[in-house]
Amino acid sequence: MNYIGQEIQDFSVKAYQQGELKDVTKKDVLGKWSVFFFYPADFSFVCPTELEDLQAKYSQFKAAGAEIYSVSEDTEFAHFAWAEASEGIGKIQYPMLADPAGKLAKAFDVLNEDLGQTYRAAFVVDPDGVIQSYTINNMGIGRNAAEIFRTLQAAQFVRAHGDKVCPASWQPGDDVLEPGTDLVGKL
């Protein structure tokens, strides 16, 4: 099933954020842009670099009005312990969702059921909870926080301007196209 244009399902999970345990639900997500960033497991190898890569750009995402939610199939206790044990993870400021029951992973269809871990997937969700872009990589292939941010900005631009659309590799400030019959077949 293709998830573009689908609204995310209701959910309620535990989360770890900067030394605190809390609840996060769909209601918390609505009203602002969000990125759901799935990774296979706490205490494993590639994952930390991806999470730290995101943290390095966290202030940019916040400035753009977006929240980041990392998600793994570990418990909130494991997130807590990982943050205590790892210097890099300890610095993460965004909420780390705990999905041991697999609810989010199944809702986004990124669970590798044989391993009980998720693929490396990132979803860009608009303030109405509707998925606008997503990327899923096989287990070993890391993602790029900069590209996720570029995609978020493009999605925000389309939502804001409607009749204008972004050309390839667009960055804020680049020219945008104004569709019209004068352009048919001319580009």
Query: What angle, 0 to 180 degrees and rounded to 10, lies between the N-to-C axes of helices 145-161 and 46-56?
Result: 50
Minimum CB separation of residue 107 from its own copies in Å reads 12
The interface with its own copies within residues 102-161 (CB under 8 A) comprises 102-103, 109-110, 113-117, 119, 132-138, 140-147, 150-151, 154-155, 158
Residue type, 182: D
CB-based contacts of 93: which residues, under 8 Å, 6+ apart?
17, 18, 55, 58
Q: Report if residue 26 touches its own copies, rule: CB under 8 A.
A: no
**Active-site residue 47, yes or no?**
yes
Taking the CA atoms of residue 63, residue 123, residue 74 and residue 113 in that order, the dihedral angle to the nearest 10 degrees is 180
Which residue of 7, 52, 64, 91 would you call a contact of its own copies, by CB under 8 A? 52
Which residue of 81, 90, 92, 149 would you call a contact of its own copies, by CB under 8 A? 81
Which residue of 26, 41, 91, 129 would you call a contact of its own copies, by CB under 8 A? 41
Q: Which is nearer to its own copies, 9 or 49 (CB)?
A: 49
Q: Report if residue 5 touches its own copies, rule: CB under 8 A.
A: yes
Residue type, 30: L
Q: Report if residue 63 touches its own copies, rule: CB under 8 A.
A: no
Q: Catalytic: which of 8, 47, 54, 121?
A: 47
Q: Report if residue 20 touches its own copies, rule: CB under 8 A.
A: yes
Decide the pairing of beta strands 120-125 and 12-17: unpaired
Q: Which is nearer to its own copies, 63 or 184 (CB)?
A: 184
21-24 contacts, C-beta under 8 A, 24 or more apart = 21/76, 21/80, 22/95, 24/69, 24/95, 24/97
Site string for its own copies, 158-187 (x = CB under 8 A): x------xxxxxx------x-x-x-xxxxx
Q: Report if residue 23 touches its own copies, rule: CB under 8 A.
A: no
Beta strands in the chain (DSSP E): 12-17, 20-25, 33-38, 66-72, 96-98, 111-112, 117-118, 120-125, 131-137
Q: Report if residue 15 touches its own copies, rule: CB under 8 A.
A: no
Q: Catalytic residues, which ones?
A: 47
